[in-house]
Structure 1
Amino acid sequence: MSLLAEDTGVADLGLRWKPGFHALGPAFLTDLRPTPLPDPYWVGRSEAVARDLGLPPDWHSSHATLAALTGSLPIAGTSPFATVYSGHQFGVWAGQLGDGRAIMLGETEGGLEVQLKGAGRTPYSRGGDGRAVLRSSIREFLCSEAMHGLGIPTTRALCVTGSDARIYREEVESAAVVTRVAPSFVRFGHFEHFAANQREDELRALADYVIDRYYPACHTTERFGGNAYAAFLEAVSERTAALLAQWQAVGFCHGVMNTDNMSILGLTIDYGPFQFLDGFDPRHICNHSDTNGRYAFNQQPNVAYWNLFCLAQALLPLIGDQEVAVAALESYKTVFPNEFEGRMRAKLGLAEAAEGDRPLIEGVLKLLAAGKVDYTIFWRRLSGFMADGNVEPVRDLFLDREGFDAWMLSFSERHASTDRALAAKLMRRTNPKFVLRNHLGQQAIEASQQKDHSGVATLLAVLQTPFEEHPGADAYAGFPPDWASTIEISCSS
């Protein structure tokens, strides 16, 4: 029997809601209801996110909750809507975009926005069906929580619900909905939209809303002669720089760094064709659709700056002076390298900076690239060496033994006066044992397509605490199989 036949009326999640972004008005959004999906079922749930939202322990036991989070029942206290934005896609102005398949339920009193991705067509769907397929929904759910476990700023995911409704992409697939959670889903593209359409009143209203809510110190700043909008741009630039440093340090490729996929809060947002590196290749392209390599791994920091420049252009009517706007971006050029080097030092077990650290970092990255050495396994084994002194598991990763030995000598000399136990502890909490590799996600997806969702739950458990050993889960931390290199991830989802 359909769950919709059993559950009628309105679902009450026990949350209190407030206007939030909706209070900006109809110029920024369109009110609408999600489109129901038949016979929904649970695919994956994050109890950690449920606790953050303040949901009761038995929140998922109700059929009404399941239906509501699949878009099939209204939720008490919410006024769902989709937002309008524009953006640059692959470096080209794409004009008006918007939430084509994401419908905002609202903002909780705790300050978290809740959004259903895949809940049906909106006025911004641009001819699409407004749906998400099961495979991409599982990937987003798992990676959102994996990134949080790694300590990287990100949107979160409460759950994935599935339906046997047919969705047409390159082939026929089943539908799913991800319930996404974040302090804000505002993107660079929201500002670009109103700037491009010369709607300065709306642009100012949006900027004031975001500053009031998330960057209040900009109102009282002495930076840029007290220009709050320039200070806001600088703050966003610095958050973005710190985020990119974390991506590069952990070996994460986003795949679609369009301006409409850039969070105004410096969160990782919109998980499409992402990938954690297997063999280290700075030029790796994870998005099969990215034929020109615009979003290759080593291009991400520069692309982020380019996107920030687009944001600066959008904010220029408010900042009022082009030189001031450019100056507000300048700190990106120092924050990113400083943050990156700091994170790489921690990966090397170095608590304090010293002369010669940069060549040490650059040297190991060149070695890893030359041998396409598995990035995550190398760093975890190096952490093990610091703990037990056994270098062979690390050395075995390299064909260029002479090059590795030379680097290892420099590394050991740098640690000559180090407390090895403290260094090992730093490395263990910096270099994860588990990341969401493509083949792990694919295995969980294929099982879920056969209605076996246990792989999603097991994978989620290790990814939420990726620095722990998790005895019995070593299969999730091993080398990828040969077939993993044949997985193609594109923008289709």
Structure 2
Amino acid sequence: MAFPLQGEDTCQHLLPTPLPNPYWVGFESNLAKELGITVDASGLPQDPRWLEVLSGIALETHEHTFADPIATVYSGHQFGIWAGQLGDGRAILLGDLRGYELQLKGSGITRYSRMGDGRAVLRSSIREFLCSEAMHALGVPTSRALAVTGSKKSVLRESLETAAVCTRLAPSFIRVGHFEHFAAARSTEHLTTMADYLLTHHYPECQGTDDPYLALFAAISERTAKLVAHWQAIGFCHGVLNSDNISILGLTIDYGPFGFLDRFQMDHICNHSDGQGRYAYQRQPQIMHWNMACLAGAMLPLIETRYGSELAQEHLQKTLEEFPEIYRAAWLKHFRTKLGLLTPNPDDTSLVESLLQLMHHNRVDFTNTFRALSHFDASHDARSNPLRDQFLNRDAFDTWMQSYVARLKEEKCSHAERQSHMLATNPKFVLRNYLAQIAIEKAQNDDFSEVKRLLAVLQDPFSEQPGLEEYAAPPPAALEHIEVSCSS
């Protein structure tokens, strides 16, 4: 088992609660092949027992046996407040499969469920399935999703819905919250075991340093800073950046009330449960930095063993202060590429920020704006650019374009070379909330064709895909303000 702690105080050994009369809602055949699962002509597993395994009914297929499923304990800060003990309240880790941990989300009550029913609903399971694979196709570090299985079993949220199980995978599901839990429990032994496991299996480059634990914290913080920079560059809002939702590997995990930006608003809130806007788009870098401060506090006992308390805090603080610099450099690198700027210039930050301000004030579509800029030829009159008509303040747009064209003329690459970089960076297709909602509503009526079709579109986000332009369109007015909550 990949999870390094197996005691009674760290996890619960239990069987999933079977999903009654399950059926396939979605299945990712390409990922299945990577995992050594043989698929048939329809793209589903050739071995029918996979349906039972991924629905919590069985633990064995012809080729694989999952002998010891577990749910793990962790703690964390939720919306900035210490929540104490949490844990896998509806996710059960089946075991390892070709370098991944395979986890069933929605597979029943565990001792960490608190007041929950241990189930996930069809709606949220489809969203996580589609977005995990969409993010992977966009090149964003993420957990993966192999399948969604559904059932007619009723579960109560704001209304009566049906249950589902989402099968998700990651090299490890260890979170910041795991470290916080064992730090709160004053278990330096468990902290050490977990850190040593990460050093051996996921951060081997830190092992030969002067202080491997401090190097481990620095590496985790660096990955996290680069992750959130990537989110900002594609207009992705996570929605619930609680410390228990933060991967120790710098992956995007726990897809809940997420959303991709349509009309760009810097202060966009994608989670209607987030009344104060703690996790708004523009605050994501700050919040992830805050989560790294939580991790620093949890890892302090490990660093103290070498330096003592005061010096350990100084070293961690110094490392924490590097987060904004790493983030800013990664953010600027992403946006330079999005604008086709292949050589650095000191004025690029101002150019990017002024564009984002212009987009914010004119409420233009985030994804489509950058995609349209990818097709812009600097040798043509900028005033003839169709993108100009998307901006209410055309004078302001013209002024920015003058600066942009002047900057492009400093580049030595050809238009074709620049366009190639931009089109490979600025996606045409992202998982817009309204597209997910259309697929969900069809699936709720037992039509899973749109889940399959939308997945195929999202797996090739940078190509033009002629004939599928509807999937690149901004939401119609009636679907522009879909609200997503933590309830799933």
Tell whether the structures are fold-level matches, with TM greater than 0.5. Answer: yes
Q: What RMSD over aligned residues (CA atoms) do the two structures have, in Å?
A: 1.3
Distance 1:200 1:485, change over 3 A: same
In the alignment, the residues of structure 1 paired with residue 447 and residue 414 of structure 2 have an alpha-carbon distance, to the nearest angstrom, of 47
Distance 1:27 1:209, change over 3 A: farther
Asked if 1:150 corresponds to 2:138, the answer is yes
In the alignment, the residues of structure 1 paired with residue 133 and residue 109 of structure 2 have an alpha-carbon distance, to the nearest angstrom, of 26
What's 2:225 paired with?
241
Which of 288, 299, 309 is equivalent to 1:315? 299
Which of 381, 402, 408 is equivalent to 1:409? 402
Which of 55, 58, 64 is equivalent to 2:49? 64
Distance 1:388 1:35, change over 3 A: farther
Which of 84, 96, 100 is equivalent to 1:112? 100
**Quick check: 1:387–1:421 contact (8 Å CA) kept in 2?**
no
State the AA in 1 paired with 2:49.
A
State the Cα deviation string for residues 40-70 of structure 1 (Å, max 9, x = none).
1101111121122121233624332111101
SS in 2 for 1:114: strand
**Quick check: 1:251–1:277 contact (8 Å CA) kept in 2?**
yes
Structure 2, unaligned runs of 5 or more: 305-311
State the Cα deviation string for residues 362-398 of structure 1 (Å, max 9, x = none).
1111100010110011111111223995743211111
Aligned 1:349-368 pairs, distance under 5 A: 349-368=340-359
State the Cα deviation string for residues 179-220 of structure 1 (Å, max 9, x = none).
001111100000000000111111111111112111112121
What's 1:375 paired with?
366
Runs of at least 4 residues of structure 1 off by over 6 A?
none
Moved more, 383-392 or 202-211: 383-392
What's 2:128 paired with?
140
What's 1:89 paired with?
78
SS in 1 for 2:269: coil
SS in 1 for 2:198: helix
Identity within the alignment, %:
54
Deviation at 1:24, TM superposition (A): 4.2
What's 2:58 paired with?
73
Which of 30, 35, 52 is equivalent to 2:34? 52
In the alignment, the residues of structure 2 paired with residue 392 and residue 334 of structure 1 have an alpha-carbon distance, to the nearest angstrom, of 35
Aligned length: 470
State the AA in 2 paired with 1:214.
H
Asked if 1:425 corresponds to 2:420, the answer is yes
Aligned 1:15-414 pairs, distance under 5 A: 19-21=1-3, 24-58=6-40, 60-75=45-60, 76-108=65-97, 110-221=98-209, 226-320=210-304, 321-386=312-377, 389=380, 391-414=384-407
Deviation at 1:353, TM superposition (A): 0.7
Deviation at 1:23, TM superposition (A): 5.9
SS in 1 for 2:350: helix
In the alignment, the residues of structure 1 paired with residue 51 and residue 204 of structure 2 have an alpha-carbon distance, to the nearest angstrom, of 37
State the Cα deviation string for residues 140-163 of structure 1 (Å, max 9, x = none).
000000000100000000011100
**Quick check: 1:367–1:404 contact (8 Å CA) kept in 2?**
yes
**Quick check: 2:5–2:190 contact (8 Å CA) kept in 1?**
no
**Quick check: 1:187–1:262 contact (8 Å CA) kept in 2?**
yes
Moved more, 474-483 or 270-279: 474-483
State the Cα deviation string for residues 294-323 of structure 1 (Å, max 9, x = none).
001100000000000000000000111111
State the Cα deviation string for residues 3-53 of structure 1 (Å, max 9, x = none).
xxxxxxxxxxxxxxxx22156444321110000111111011111211221
What's 1:440 paired with?
435
State the AA in 1 paired with 2:470.
A
What's 1:490 paired with?
485
What's 1:4 paired with?
none
**Quick check: 1:22–1:29 contact (8 Å CA) kept in 2?**
no
SS in 2 for 1:165: strand
**Quick check: 1:233–1:329 contact (8 Å CA) kept in 2?**
no
**TM-score (normalised: structure 2):** 0.94
**TM-score (normalised: structure 1):** 0.93
State the AA in 2 paired with 1:209.
Y
**Quick check: 1:385–1:394 contact (8 Å CA) kept in 2?**
no
Moved more, 269-278 or 203-212: 203-212
